[in-house]
Chains A and B, each alone.
Chain A
Amino acid sequence: MSAPDPNAFSLDINDPEDAELIEYFLGELPDRVDAINQASSSDDVDQLGRLAHQLKGAAPGFGFPAIGSAAAKLEGSIRELDQSTEDINIVRAEVENLVLLCQSYISQTKSSH
């Protein structure tokens, strides 16, 4: 299968079903960010990989393909880490990138309320 087309996942906030999914995802996101931060600070790479993997698979379906790509990058780096001793800083940078991205979506929701 080819790389997913980001446009295939764009949701319409005016559609009630889409709005429900977007709202659900944004509601869950702060807990996910906390979990990612926690796993990162305790160097729990397995847990970090699982969280990234889930976000990668789910975020596009909820209308957040950018979060999906950032999570995919993080998952990829963690996988590399398993095989070689690539610098853990790359993983940390990917975590930071993902967390910042999520937080920007979270703060956008807060300010729009």
Chain B
Amino acid sequence: MVDPQDLQLESTPVVLLVDDSQFVHRLLDARMRSESISLIGAFDGKSGFERAVEDSPALILLDLDMPIMDGFETLRALKEEPKTKDIPVIVLSGMDSSQDKVTAFDLGAVDFVTKPFELTELRARLRSSLKMSALLKMLAQKAQIDGLSGLYNRSFFDDRFTEEYDRAIRHNHPISIALMDLDHFKSINDTFGHPAGDIVISGVSQIAAQECRSSDIACRYGGEEYVLIMPETSPADAYTLCQRIRERCEATTWSQHPGRNVTLSIGIVGAAEGAGIQCTPAAMIELADRNLYDAKKSGRNMVRASDVNGAPINIAKAS
């Protein structure tokens, strides 16, 4: 499940101040103490840019009038770099020039504050920018999250799997995916009603999310189907993880239907370290689906795994 910490609403936001004047650093250090932010600093545009890439602050306060790399150049660089382009920038300037303001906004600044600043005003502007960016971030994440399960949704999976797949190929690293399908789910809906079915969907999501390691990516694939992306994981290790999920699911008692447990069938496909992959992401999903079908056909409530060539992975009597 998506970690709420990622939304940056709870944690203390880091604010980066880029200004060549020691005075300004000292002033804001003292005057921002009452704000729930953590202030870090840089004294020129170049190191400010580097600091932003490294620390991904929640907000940048950027002075315009700096020697060597000035504020506009720095702003341009920040907006061109994928890692920093979405960080809101408030421009600080000793020049009260409309042309500068227009340029700053054109280059992507969210606000413009003239020095010497009224500190209550700066604090208010800072708070409002931080709030706005936290909400935007949340919105962007919401669009990737499945409402019922709290897992990532299908469109997120499609993008993310392609990325992880490309990375695994590039570095010749292991990668596995697992398709998981609830057994006889329709009968739960039919017998106990759709609300009970929804509880099962989200309950199994929770089990999967809890069993996954932080590097695994759990997504809802469709109706009663889930998919796990397991980067850096051989199919044999994926098998162990999926067995744990399957066992916990089977052992869970549901308060809406205590006499009826819920089981999962799982199909895994993956490449071990150095095995090399010579297929496409779509072909990998198709193989996982075939293994899932095999698990269903062989009696359900089991895990079937193969390598990317379709050769079964035999785990010594694990199930």
Contact = CB atoms under 8 A, between A and B. Distances in A.
Interface of A: 1, 4, 8-9, 17, 20-21, 24-25, 28, 50, 53-54, 56-62, 65, 68
Given A17-B30, A50-B67, A61 B22 contact: no
Contacts, number: 52
Nearest to B66: A50
B118 interface: yes
Contacts of A50: 67
Nearest to B28: A61
Interface of B: 20-24, 26-27, 30-31, 33, 65, 67, 94, 96, 114-119
Main secondary structure of the interface of B (DSSP, over half): loop
A28 B94 CA distance: 20
Nearest to A20: B30
Given A25-B23, A50-B67, A57 B115 contact: yes
Contact of A58 (B23, B33, B65, B119): B23
Which of A1, A53, A57, A59 has its CB near the most chain B CB atoms (within 10 A)? A57
Contact of A17 (B33, B65, B67, B115): B33
Contacts of B117: 61
A62 B26 CA distance: 10
Contacts of A53: 65, 94
Contact of B21 (A9, A20, A54): A54
A58 B30 contact: no
30 contacts: A1-B96, A4-B116, A8-B118, A9-B116, A17-B30, A17-B33, A21-B26, A21-B30, A25-B23, A28-B23, A50-B67, A54-B20, A56-B94, A57-B21, A57-B94, A57-B115, A57-B116, A58-B21, A58-B23, A58-B115, A58-B116, A59-B116, A61-B23, A61-B27, A61-B116, A61-B117, A61-B119, A62-B27, A65-B116, A68-B116
Given A8-B118, A57-B116, A61-B119, 8 more contacts: A1-B96, A21-B30, A54-B20, A57-B23, A57-B115, A58-B24, A59-B23, A61-B31
B19 to A, nearest CB: 9
A57 B66 CA distance: 13
A68 B23 CA distance: 13
A23 B65 CA distance: 26
Contacts of B116: 4, 9, 56-61, 65, 68
Contacts of B30: 17, 20-21
A11 to B, nearest CB: 11
A39 to B, nearest CB: 14
A111 to B, nearest CB: 24
A54 B23 CA distance: 8
A21 B24 CA distance: 11
Contacts of B22: 28
A1 B114 contact: yes
A52 B116 CA distance: 13
A91 B27 CA distance: 28
Contacts of B114: 1
B45 to A, nearest CB: 15
A34 to B, nearest CB: 15
B73 to A, nearest CB: 17
Contacts of A59: 23, 116
Rank and list the top 7 A-B pairs by shortest CB-CB distance, nearest first.
A58-B23, A57-B115, A60-B116, A57-B94, A54-B21, A61-B27, A1-B114
B252 to A, nearest CB: 56
Contacts of A58: 21, 23-24, 27, 115-116
